[in-house]
Chains A and B, each alone.
Chain A
Amino acid sequence: ETGVTQTPRHLVMGMTNKKSLKCEQHLGHNAMYWYKQSAKKPLELMFVYNFKEQTENNSVPSRFSPECPNSSHLFLHLHTLQPEDSALYLCASSQVGVSRTLPEQETQYFGPGTRLLVL
């Protein structure tokens, strides 16, 4: 497979369930991202992993728990979600330069997303 893949593509879960979203990138990148896209709202960056370390957490509720076991895989563990968490969850990856003062080609490549419905 090439690019960025996400599984599952669709997920329906109850508020008491525990589920995980998986993202895998085949691009040799060193940074991975989770985004949330809700209806009628701009894309929101949730988590950033750079060189496998979490470098950004944009005030995301603790019911979302990311895991990055290696530079190619990223998980988003979900538990006790709320109906308002229903959204499209997008994963992305990019190649981040060692020196952030010299912007390089850091285009983010997105997966197809997981459409989540919380009942």
Chain B
Amino acid sequence: GIQVEQSPPDLILQEGANSTLRCNFSDSVNNLQWFHQNPWGQLINLFYIPSGTKQNGRLSATTVATERYSLLYISSSQTTDSGVYFCAVESTGGFKTIFGAGTRLFVKA
């Protein structure tokens, strides 16, 4: 089945710093989403981005479907950005959603 790898697994940032999170996937996908799981466990949708680039405030994402990766950019990080960032893809055959293991982010004040 399709493999989803996220890097880095852990990331510590000083408040105000920028970062890039990466999601690689091993096969063609129907769609790709980025989620943020806050320290209380709730998953929040960030982007639905099967291809192209989108921006929402300090966050932006780019998916290059032909090269099978997606990037999530966090600029001017804040302590409230802490949590786990998941990439999830839906495979083209079988419409199965697979999550990556996540990147655990901690932003220090």
Q: Which residues of A contact B (CB under 8 A)?
A: 33, 37, 41-45, 48, 55-56, 58, 88, 90, 92, 100, 103, 105-110, 112-113, 115
Closest 7 CB pairs of A and B: A110-B43, A43-B99, A107-B48, A42-B99, A42-B101, A112-B42, A103-B30
A42 near B100: Cβ-Cβ < 8 Å: yes
Contacts of A105 in B (CB 8 A): 48
B95 near A58: Cβ-Cβ < 8 Å: no
Summarize B's interface: helix, strand, loop or mixed.
strand
User: Complex Cα distance A56/B94, Å?
Assistant: 9
User: Complex Cα distance A37/B86, Å?
Assistant: 12
Does B41 reach chain A (CB closer than 8 Å)?
yes
Question: Distance in Å from the Cβ of B48 to the closest Cβ of chain A?
Answer: 4
User: Complex Cα distance A33/B96, Å?
Assistant: 11
Contacts of A110 in B (CB 8 A): 35, 42-45
Q: Which of A44, A100, A108, A112 contacts B95 (CB 8 A)?
A: A100
A115 near B48: Cβ-Cβ < 8 Å: no
Q: Which of A43, A45, A103, A106 contacts B96 (CB 8 A)?
A: A45
B10-36: which have CB < 8 Å to A? 30-31, 33, 35
User: Complex Cα distance A106/B88, Å?
Assistant: 12
User: Complex Cα distance A114/B31, Å?
Assistant: 26
User: Complex Cα distance A113/B95, Å?
Assistant: 23
Contacts of B97 in A (CB 8 A): 33, 45, 108
Given the known A-B contacts A43-B86, A103-B30, are A109 and B99 also in contact in the complex, defined by CB atoms under 8 Å? no
Closest to A107 in B: B48
Task: Identify the interface centre among B30, B35, B40, B41: most chain A CB within 10 Å of its CB.
Answer: B41
Given the known A-B contacts A42-B102, A56-B95, A56-B96, are A106 and B48 also in contact in the complex, defined by CB atoms under 8 Å? yes
Question: Distance in Å from the Cβ of A100 to the closest Cβ of chain B?
Answer: 6
B99 near A107: Cβ-Cβ < 8 Å: no
User: Complex Cα distance A103/B99, Å?
Assistant: 18
User: Complex Cα distance A48/B4, Å?
Assistant: 20
B100 near A109: Cβ-Cβ < 8 Å: no
Question: Distance in Å from the Cβ of B31 to the closest Cβ of chain A?
Answer: 5
Contacts of A115 in B (CB 8 A): 41
